[in-house]
């Protein structure tokens, strides 16, 4: 850990809580190299942990009170709650995440007996899609595991962190973020099967290369984004496909099986590749062409692109393949 950061945290902890007995913890952020929106569909992902993340300094208390302070949300001040009353409170904002982990541990029989004071600091940009919330969750899990001598293995803690976000926070995230943070190792990415949790490390030689993380100035937070909506759509698609295929997740569907649940004689062209593969459709220019996608939105764009290329017998399948399969 960087000595300047550690010294800063220690000084701020004393200023906020007026306590000198401290223990320092760290949890990384993560970036996903391959496999967006596949973790909750039981597919494979290829994330790696980052060298920056979330720091936590803790001091144990003799009562049941928990006091939390974040240097990233200084305007919210110290947030307090009792271990005897842990419920979601909108006013507690970011503090609901560590609270969720403590409560989830308790639900599984791992009860925290004594309260504590914690100061948090993260150098992960908030809302940047680098899993600042999952980093905070895993950090809290490691802290209370160590504080209470629960001796839990990391994968068990990772599962409970995902459960905390699903059930307490209300975000139906997959397990990739927590798994990558908890199981990340230096110099490696993780090839993870999100359906079975089988994984293996893959060495990444970054000599001469850099991972570039771009800032779009668009904040990304799972709880207030369309993430839950996208997951719900995937679950709807799965339910429809299960009427004709015996699968438990979309990740189990092979390319051949996917083609089987498509409309017969259809041609599968990703929207971003449509204009590059226009030759595949030229022989059908004088015929009626029905364009469809999952929900009927991207197919509208596809119709407009083809119209500009001279196709004039175009029809959009409203509400997409999901509604069609009904």
Q: Half-sphere exposure of residue 25, counting CA atoms within 13 Å on the CB side?
A: 22
Q: Quick one: average pLDDT of 19-30? A: 93
Q: Do domains 3-203 and 227-325 have the same CATH topology?
A: no
Residue 177 a catalytic site member: yes
Q: Which of 11, 177, 283, 323 is catalytic?
A: 177
Question: What's residue 318's pLDDT?
Answer: 84
Lowest mean pLDDT among 113-127, 203-217, 252-266: 252-266
Distance CA 194, CA 178 (A): 12
| Structure-model confidence comparison of residues 129 and 54, the more confident one | 54
Question: What's residue 11's pLDDT?
Answer: 94
How sure is the predictor about 81, in pLDDT bands with cuts at 50, 70 and 90? very high
Q: Name which CATH class applies to 227-325.
A: alpha beta
Both tokens assigned to 174: 């997959």
The predicted-structure confidence for 210-233, as pLDDT tens digits, reads as follows: 888 777 776 665 555 677 788 888
Domain boundaries, the chain: 3-203, 227-325
| Structure-model confidence comparison of residues 112 and 34, the more confident one | 112
Q: Quick one: average pLDDT of 33-55? A: 89
Question: What's residue 223's pLDDT?
Answer: 58
Question: What's residue 149's pLDDT?
Answer: 97
Q: Quick one: average pLDDT of 9-21? A: 93
83: Cβ–Cβ under 8 A, 6 or more apart, which residues?
64, 65, 66, 102, 112, 113, 115
61: Cβ–Cβ under 8 A, 6 or more apart, which residues?
67, 114, 115, 116, 117
| Structure-model confidence comparison of residues 138 and 209, the more confident one | 138
| Structure-model confidence comparison of residues 39 and 265, the more confident one | 39
Lowest mean pLDDT among 19-33, 151-165, 254-268: 254-268
The predicted-structure confidence for 92-108, as pLDDT tens digits, reads as follows: 999 999 999 999 999 99
Q: Quick one: average pLDDT of 132-145? A: 97
Question: What's residue 262's pLDDT?
Answer: 62
How sure is the predictor about 259, in pLDDT bands with cuts at 50, 70 and 90? low
| Structure-model confidence comparison of residues 322 and 149, the more confident one | 149
| Structure-model confidence comparison of residues 72 and 226, the more confident one | 72
Question: What's residue 60's pLDDT?
Answer: 96
Q: Quick one: average pLDDT of 66-78? A: 97
Whether residue 263 has pLDDT greater than 90? no
Please, are residues 178 and 232 in contact by the beta-carbon 8 Å criterion?
A: no
How sure is the predictor about 14, in pLDDT bands with cuts at 50, 70 and 90? very high
Question: What's residue 219's pLDDT?
Answer: 65
The predicted-structure confidence for 150-208, as pLDDT tens digits, reads as follows: 999 999 999 999 999 999 999 988 899 999 999 999 999 999 999 899 999 999 888 88
Q: Quick one: average pLDDT of 236-241? A: 80
Our measurement of the distance from residue 159's CA atom to the centroid of its chain's CA atoms, rounded to an integer in Å, reads 13
Question: What's residue 292's pLDDT?
Answer: 85
Question: What's residue 264's pLDDT?
Answer: 61
Longest dimension (CA), the chain: 80
Instruction: Tell me whether residue 246 is exposed, middle or buried, using C-beta atoms within 10 angstroms of its C-beta: 0 to 12, 13 to 18, 19 or more.
Output: exposed
Whether residue 241 has pLDDT greater than 70? yes
Distance CA 193, CA 139 (A): 23
Question: What's residue 102's pLDDT?
Answer: 98
The predicted-structure confidence for 276-298, as pLDDT tens digits, reads as follows: 888 888 878 788 888 888 778 88
Beta strand 314-316 pairing with 289-291: parallel
3-203: CATH, from 3.55.40.20, 3.30.230.10, 3.30.110.30, 3.40.640.10: 3.30.230.10
Both tokens assigned to 218: 């668009």
């Amino acid at each position: 850990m960087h000595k300047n950061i550690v010294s800063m945290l220690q000084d701020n902890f004393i200023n906020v809580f007026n306590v000198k007995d401290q223990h320092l913890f760290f949890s990384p952020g993560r970036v996903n190299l391959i496999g967006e929106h596949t973790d909750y569909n039981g597919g494979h992902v290829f994330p790696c942990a980052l060298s920056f993340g979330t720091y936590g300094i803790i001091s144990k208390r003799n009562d049941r009170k928990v006091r939390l302070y974040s240097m990233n949300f200084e305007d919210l001040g110290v947030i307090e709650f009792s271990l005897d009353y842990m419920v979601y409170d909108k006013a507690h904002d970011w503090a609901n995440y560590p609270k969720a982990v403590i409560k989830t541990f308790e639900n599984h029989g791992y009860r925290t007996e004594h309260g504590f004071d914690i100061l948090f600091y993260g150098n992960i940009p908030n809302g940047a899609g680098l899993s600042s919330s999952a980093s905070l969750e895993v950090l809290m899990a490691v802290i209370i595991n160590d504080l209470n001598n629960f001796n839990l293995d990391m994968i068990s803690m990772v599962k409970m962190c995902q459960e905390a976000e699903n059930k307490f926070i209300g975000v139906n995230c997959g397990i990739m973020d927590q798994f990558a943070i908890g199981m990340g190792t230096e110099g490696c990415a993780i090839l993870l099967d999100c359906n079975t949790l089988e994984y293996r490390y893959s060495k990444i030689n970054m000599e001469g290369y850099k991972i570039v993380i771009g800032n779009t100035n668009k904040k990304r937070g799972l709880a207030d984004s369309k993430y839950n909506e996208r997951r719900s759509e995937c679950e709807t698609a799965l339910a429809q496909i299960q009427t004709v295929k015996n699968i438990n997740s979309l990740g189990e569907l092979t390319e051949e099986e996917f083609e089987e649940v498509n409309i017969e004689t259809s041609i599968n062209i990703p929207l971003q590749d449509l204009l590059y593969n226009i030759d595949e459709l030229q022989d059908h220019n004088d015929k009626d062409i029905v364009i469809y996608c999952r929900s009927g939105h991207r197919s509208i764009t596809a119709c407009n692109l083809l119209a500009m290329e001279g196709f004039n017998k175009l029809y959009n399948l409203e509400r997409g393949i999901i509604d069609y399969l009904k």
